[in-house]
Amino acid sequence: MKRSYVPFIVWMVFMTVMLLMPSKRVPSTIANFGDHLIHAAIMFVATWLWYFPNLNRELRPAHHIVLLVGFAVYSMLTEIIQEMLIPGRSGDVSDFMYDMVGVVLAMSTVFLHRKLYRNVY
């Protein structure tokens, strides 16, 4: 069965819309849930969705580095845009750090999955 990057693309669009939404339009249930937990969770999901189509393939180390750097740049840009352009939102270094925690946790989960299930597929 061939897996697709469509879920990743849809998630990234949804995530970008939510991250760049003015504060008055952010649903209160999301705003009250815990900003740092949400940042880590959404980046965990994004990273997992990126890896999912290639879950059973061995990727070169460069792929992992590019993914990590790509998500770091994305996270920095969204924080800068929030600070400079979005009414009622502010950029926060701790949000960036929790974004990266989510990415690293997802990458670790993928590596562990590959290690445990290497001979199953």
Span 36-48, pLDDT tens digits: 898 999 999 999 9
Q: What is the pLDDT of residues 3-30, one digit of tens each?
A: 789 999 999 999 999 888 887 766 665 5
Q: Cα(68)–Cα(22) distance, rounded to whole angstroms?
A: 27
The pLDDT score that the predictor gives to residue 55 is 74
Ramachandran assignment for 27, one of left (phi > 0), alpha (psi -120 to 50 degrees), beta (any other): beta
Q: Residue 85: which domain range?
A: 6-117
The pLDDT score that the predictor gives to residue 121 is 47
Is residue 98 included in any domain, yes or no? yes
Is residue 1 included in any domain, yes or no? no
Is residue 44 included in any domain, yes or no? yes
Farthest-apart Cα atoms in the chain, separation:
51
* Percent of the chain residues topping a pLDDT of 70: 88
Q: Cα(38)–Cα(31) distance, rounded to whole angstroms?
A: 9
Q: Number of structural domains, the chain?
A: 1
Is residue 22 included in any domain, yes or no? yes
Q: Within 13 Å, how many C-alpha atoms sit on residue 1's CB side?
A: 6
Q: Which residue has the higher pLDDT, 23 or 98?
A: 98
Element (H, E) at 55: none
Element (H, E) at 48: helix 35-51
Residues 79-97, mean pLDDT to the nearest whole number: 90
